[in-house]
Amino acid sequence: MAAVLGCIADDFTGATDLAGLLARSGAPVSLRMGVPSEPPRDVAPFEVIALKCRTAPADQAVAECRAALRWLREAGASRFFWKYCSTFDSTAAGNIGPVAESLMAELGASQTIYCPAFPENGRSVFMGNLFVGEQPLAESPMKDHPLTPMRDSNLMRLLAPQTTKPVGLANRLTVARGVEALQARLAALRGEGVAHVVVDAVADQDLEVIADACRDWPLITGGSALAMGLPHHYRAAGMLSASVRPPAPPDLAADAVVLSGSCSAMTQKQVARYLAQAPGYQLDPITLAEEGPGAALDWLEAQSMAAAPLLYATAEPQAVRAAQERLGVARAGAVVEAALAELAIRAREQGARRFVVAGGETSGAVTQALGVRRLTIGPEIAPGVPWTYCESDGRPIALTLKSGNFGAESFFADALSKLGAAQ
């Protein structure tokens, strides 16, 4: 079987989010962590490659995404989706624009669209400005993100320094007039040489119009929700089989661990809520940098995995800033990620088979440490956050990778009871 849509995601939680939403179509979705070293086999109609390139130098991110594109083309895909965060997480140096331009050049595409909207999770784009709930992006907690603080809400302004070709807007008034009006606007912009078009969307219906208007484009870019509008067009065109068979959950022990390296506002609430019902240990980047993770490993060793203990570096912006001033942004993140990765391995050795991980970068570090290369998408816990099934060290495990602001306050407990219910 050949891939119908090849997707490249700039972080691991983003990739599971996208894979989970594509799986709502009932078609098989395969999620691969990093570009596979071997040629494609067991190809699914929806192939998602998860990279960890959101904060990498732009030339490295571009090289990784080009390698992913080559693999997906070999897998038979002729349409591609470049997935980034619904809060457009990036820096002035990239990587959303540079990667899009490079993929466009490879594919011979003269234009692409940008739509990070995810209405179900409160992300909307209006007149080119991104909102988180009712707040402009730059006034939302994203302004304090440890790695990609978002201090402007205007997507055209954010994108322009990241691209060499002109940036334009197809606004909500056009999208509301339907598929043909949007196609006409995109064509007019193309005539003016506009290669990068931000497209407004405030509701799922807008995303459906956009997906319909661009369904045969070689490359579209956006948050995960935009991709949800694509499968039924492929099915109508006879590119997807009608048969639906959800994957069987593996036979897993109940033992679990929760690892959180996300400092997002929602994760802070989730950590506080979960600490009321389970044992927890807070990691401090400065202690980790000076003394290593020994104390945390000792604490973990004394825990029963049946209690699903929580290890977290999650902290308020003030504490994050203090650690970053002392260690530098990159090192503060790196010591936390390395510690959580080591703790994940130790938890597996202590019998944990269900891993709840919070944070995009954190998920990348933990997944790599567990040696997970390929995941099958299981039941959805919250919009954009499914359980996934995979193997680690020859044993079946389940992983859920939650990006910062996703999930309800009770997410950690929700996740653990959801997989229990599926068994």
**Where on the chain is the footprint of ligand ADP (CB under 6 A)?**
145-147, 261-264, 267, 285, 313, 315, 319-320, 323-324, 332-333, 336-337, 359-362, 403-404
Lookup: tokens for 99: 């990667």
For residue 171, cis peptide bond before it (omega within 30 degrees of 0) = no
4 or 369: CB nearest ligand ADP: 369
Helix, strand, coil % in the chain, rounded to nearest 5: 45, 20, 35
The H or E element that residue 152 is part of is none
> Is the alpha carbon torsion for 57, 141, 136, 151 positive or negative?
negative
253 or 286: CB nearest ligand ADP: 286
Radius of gyration of the chain, Cα coordinates, nearest whole angstrom: 21
145 or 353: CB nearest ligand ADP: 145
**Minimum Å distance from CB 97 to ligand ADP?**
20
Local structure of 61: helix, strand or coil: helix
**Minimum Å distance from CB 193 to ligand ADP?**
35
**Minimum Å distance from CB 191 to ligand ADP?**
39
Residues 209-214: contacts with CB within 8 Å, 24+ apart? 209/175, 209/178, 209/179, 209/182, 210/113, 210/115, 210/175, 210/182, 212/179, 213/179, 213/182, 213/183, 213/186, 214/113, 214/186
184 or 319: CB nearest ligand ADP: 319
3-state secondary structure 323-349: HHHHHCHHHHHHHHHHHHHHHHHHHHH
Secondary structure letter of residue 30 according to DSSP: E
**Minimum Å distance from CB 153 to ligand ADP?**
18
174 or 405: CB nearest ligand ADP: 405
Degrees (nearest 5) of the Cα angle 211, 217, 220?
65
**Minimum Å distance from CB 9 to ligand ADP?**
13
145 or 348: CB nearest ligand ADP: 145
360 or 378: CB nearest ligand ADP: 360
128 or 364: CB nearest ligand ADP: 364
Distance CA 1, CA 153 (A): 42
Give the dihedral of Cα atoms 12, 14, 18, 21; nearest 10 deg. 110
Degrees (nearest 5) of the Cα angle 200, 203, 204?
110
**Minimum Å distance from CB 320 to ligand ADP?**
4
**Minimum Å distance from CB 416 to ligand ADP?**
20
**Minimum Å distance from CB 329 to ligand ADP?**
8
How do beta strands 374-382 and 29-33 pair? antiparallel
